[in-house]
Structures are given as structure tokens and as C-alpha cells.
Amino acid sequence: MRNEPIIGPLTSSPVIHRYASNPILTAADLPYPSTLVFNAGVTKYQGKYVIVFRNDYGDYANNHYFDGTNLGLAFSNDGIHWDVQPQPCFALSGGERATGTITRAYDPRLTVIEGRCYMTFAVDTLHGVRGGVAVTEDFEHWEILSISVPENRNMVLFPERIGGKYVRLERPMPVYGRGGRERFDIWLSDSPDLAYWGNSAFILGVEDVPYANLKIGPAAPPVKTAEGWLTTFHAVDLDPARGKNGWEERWQKRYTTGVMLLNLDNPHQIVGIYPFPLMAPEAPYEIGGGFRNGVIFPGGMILEETGEVKFYYGAADTVTCLATADVEELVGLCNGKVG
């Protein structure tokens, strides 16, 4: 890392309330092999809450690697207590070096658009990280609509078309053009059909986020408010002084969450952004005992009719947690009126 300042201690905004019985989903809840249950997408579909979560499985303690990753599925009536389905619902595998094929899918996000449920996900291949978009009607059969070229991931779909086009936020990974470092930013693309994506535009740079010194990326799919699209992003800072901070020998990154408001008709335009973290790792399950401590990674955000916003996030890359906030307070943070 060159020239970037070390970011000191960070705290969460007081508008955030962590669910007292966190975590809401862990490996112990799964009826199939599981080690880490985290980075989930959540939506409301046909009257139920649906969660699709990342499941990394294998005996990491002895082998120092995971055997694989699949995506698990659960339903809920309250968004808190989950009925985990007996089998994972999605997995990609393969890995032929000659064709650059897929080795795994992970970090799902769910968005309902015009009554259909879409999932975006990251795809590791032997020739780079790609971003996928799929659609389902039953969470068992998935039609893959597109998978990007490398290097791109953290795609989140807006829940409605804007100007007739589907829109997504995304996070390309331009290592060559950013001096060989992970200086990654948030971009936006649109599509007539969810297969072909273009009109790509820069939205927010890592330099614009005072509590990041490495990279940023979209978090959960945006929700609509009267004052704009309310959306979260993850922000990463690195401190070489951090040593063993999880199961690996070294984990020097911290993942916090930011929040911003985008213009409803022209989401390229940032209406407001909170200059401090919305969430920073503080709770015991966020800062200790996990695979990678100090990580908060939201993938789901639901705006309830009461004005409560539910945030679903991976904690320490190990478990799935819930936090809530009032939508007006969140909008106020972005507009500089609260906090």
C-alpha cells in the first residue's frame, strides 16, 4: 500500500440496531455439510422472506482449505426465524484450465423485479472472477441470463426498470489500471434484457470514502424511498499492522458498510452520502471467533411498510446476522440531517 493513510478505530452509526439474538443463521442450522454461512441475499417473494446464503464447507481446521462452496436456501415468515431447506439450491463447479471454466458461485443477492426473482452472484473461474445474473421461479431451477467477462463482481440489481432499462451497480476489479493494487470503485451499467450490459458509468470511487483506503463495492440491492434509491456499499481498509485475526495466519483488512442515496430517475447521480460508516465491526461475532474477523458484508436490505429497514449481513465471513434502522434516519444520514 502506498500513500494511503491508515484508518483508525471506527464505530457504527447510532441509527443501527443489531438484533439481540444474532447470529440468525449459522452452520449449525444446516442439514448438510457446512462450515461458514454468510454473505446472503434476502428478499420478499410471494408473501415470504427468502434467503439464499453462501455456504463454504470442509474441514478448514485440519486441511487449511474449504472443500467447496454452494448456496443454501431458507424461507421465513418474519425475516428472523428460518426454515432451512434440505439441500443447497445452487452450485457451479468444474474448473478446466484450458477453457477458463467456473469453479464456484458465491455472494448471492436477490432482487424481485416485476414479480420475478433474480439472483446476482460472483463466479470464480480459473481465468478470473466474473459476475452472474440468474432468474428462478421455484428456487430449484435457475436460468443463467449472463456472466460477465473478468474482472467484475458484487453486482446488485435495482428492483425496477429505470427509463425502460434494467440497472445494476457493480464493482470491476481493474488491477492493471489502478497500479497493481485493489483500488476498486462502484460502477453502474444498464441492460435491455438482463443479458447484455452496457452504458457503464463510474459512480463512486474509493477516494471518495474517508473510511476506506483499499476498495469499495456495492452491498445489498437498493430500496426505493421518496428521496432516492437508498443503497449500501462495503468499504475496505487495510492496516499492515494487523496480524492474525481469524483462522488464517494474516488478515489485515476490515470491511465496514457505507450508505448513500441515488437519484430516482438518474441513479448515476449521488443525492447524498453519509461520510462515516453506517456499520463498523464491533459486536463479538463481528470482531472475534470467525474465519476473517472484522468483516461486515451486507447482501440483503428490506424496507418494511412500517419504515423499518432490515439489513442482512455476513459477520466475520462466518455467520449471518441482522440489524435494523429507521428509513427516515437512514435518508437523514445521507442528506446530512441526522447523525
Q: State which of residues 107, 170, 185, 286 lies at the interface with ligand BMA (CB under 6 A).
A: 107
**Cα distance between residue 17 and residue 13, in whole Å:** 9
Is the CB of residue 248 less than 8 Å from the CB of residue 185? no
Site for ligand BMA in 232-261 (CB under 6 A): 255
- How many Cα neighbours within 13 Å face the side chain of 281? 27
Number of residues counted as binding ligand BMA (CB under 6 A): 8
Q: State which of residues 158, 247, 297, 313 lies at the interface with ligand BMA (CB under 6 A).
A: 297
Interaction between residue 300 and ligand BMA (CB under 6 A):
no
Which residue stretch of 264-272, 278-286, 290-298, 300-308 sits at the interface with ligand BMA (rule: CB under 6 A)? 290-298
Minimum distance from CB of 299 to ligand BMA (Å)? Answer: 9
Across the strands, what pairs with 190? 167, 198
Interaction between residue 279 and ligand BMA (CB under 6 A):
no
Minimum distance from CB of 80 to ligand BMA (Å)? Answer: 22
Q: Phi and psi for 241 in degrees, rounded to 5? A: -75, -15
Minimum distance from CB of 271 to ligand BMA (Å)? Answer: 27
CA angle centred on 217, ends 215 and 221, rounded to 5°: 165
Cβ-based nearer residue to ligand BMA, 12 or 256: 256
Contacts of residue 3, Cβ cutoff 8 Å, sequence gap at least 6: none
**Cα distance between residue 256 and residue 152, in whole Å:** 20
**Cα distance between residue 185 and residue 216, in whole Å:** 5
Contacts of residue 302, Cβ cutoff 8 Å, sequence gap at least 6: 42, 43, 44, 49, 79, 223, 309, 310, 312
Minimum distance from CB of 40 to ligand BMA (Å)? Answer: 11
Cβ-based nearer residue to ligand BMA, 54 or 310: 54
Minimum distance from CB of 234 to ligand BMA (Å)? Answer: 8
Cβ-based nearer residue to ligand BMA, 18 or 292: 292
**Cα distance between residue 223 and residue 111, in whole Å:** 10
Q: State which of residues 125, 271, 317, 325 lies at the interface with ligand BMA (CB under 6 A).
A: 317
Contacts of residue 204, Cβ cutoff 8 Å, sequence gap at least 6: 185, 186, 216, 233, 260, 270, 273
Cβ-based nearer residue to ligand BMA, 112 or 129: 129
Interaction pattern, residues 17-46, with ligand BMA; x per rule: CB under 6 A: ----------------------x-------
Is the CB of residue 163 less than 8 Å from the CB of residue 265? yes
**Cα distance between residue 196 and residue 124, in whole Å:** 20
Cβ-based nearer residue to ligand BMA, 272 or 294: 294
Interaction between residue 292 and ligand BMA (CB under 6 A):
yes
Which residue stretch of 88-96, 265-273, 275-283, 292-300 sits at the interface with ligand BMA (rule: CB under 6 A)? 292-300
Residues of this chain that bind ligand BMA (CB under 6 A): 39, 107, 255, 292, 295, 297, 314, 317
